[in-house]
A and B are shown apart, each in its own frame.
Chain A
Amino acid sequence: MANKDEHELSSDTESVRHKFIDRIFHWTAGVLIIILLLSAFLPILGIKFDWLPWHWVSGVLLLFVLTFHIVRALFFQNFLNMIPKTDDIRELLFLSVKSSDPQKYNAAQKFYHLITAASVLVLAITGAFMLVKIDTPLWNRNPAILSDDQWGIIYVLHGLSSLVLIFLVIVHTYFTLIPEHRQFLISMIKDSGPKWARKKKND
């Protein structure tokens, strides 16, 4: 079994764990995703209102925000920090990690981000297709770009990913609020936070 300390939060702090622009991205994307989920599912649960303008406007804004994040992660940040590696699988399985390098993100954070990124990307791409089915002040609808069968696949992918996202949002909210993760929550609000989520081995 792994040494318990290996999986504990480092008490080291740095001046900025998440830069201001990344914190703005996080909370903007979070608010937009909440609006998208509520505008999609409240009418299904029986709370009727004119949900479509809320949904498509939030969706378009999220597309812009996501594009910004992807460009920033790929070209201005070390995106390898967020890619799960062999040690992350070992950490998830409660096995001892082999590398002695400390990690900014632990295994749970990396895998959570990976699954969230995948489901949000599927939602964004299928949602972008669905935008052409509605008339807006910015464009006119043109549903003929895909066949009925192809639209059916788009709807299914959009729906399944949204169900995955409901699960992820609930789990994210719970793990954010537990006392052990208080420093991570603060680091997403203020200019300080733990430098490492997984400490250096034998630290």
Chain B
Amino acid sequence: MDLFRFSKDVFGQKMLVGVNWDFIWVPIFLAGLLILAHIILRVFVKHE
């Protein structure tokens, strides 16, 4: 999967147009992972 999106300009040359929005789920997944890790840590510390 490409990290960036490309298009073609009026001369048919490759032109950078932004980030590939398929990656929108990456920050959501990472945030969920961090929250899960924190919840597990809280339970672990509580039982200690």
Contact = CB atoms under 8 A, between A and B. Distances in A.
Main SS class of interface, B: helix
Interface string B12-23: 000111110101
Interface in A16-58: 41, 44-45
Given A148-B9, A167-B31, A170-B31, A41 B24 contact: yes
Interface string A140-161: 0000000011001101101110
A92 to B, nearest CB: 14
Given A148-B15, A153-B16, A155-B16, A44 B31 contact: no
Main SS class of interface, A: helix
Contacts, number: 54
A163 B24 contact: yes
| Size category, B interface | 20 to 34
A155 B19 CA distance: 7
Taking each of A152, A155, A175, which has the highest tally of chain B beta carbons within 10 Å of its own beta carbon?
A152
Contacts of B35: 170-171, 174
A160 B21 contact: no
Given A155-B16, A167-B30, 11 more contacts: A44-B24, A152-B15, A153-B16, A156-B18, A163-B27, A166-B27, A167-B28, A170-B28, A170-B31, A175-B38, A178-B42
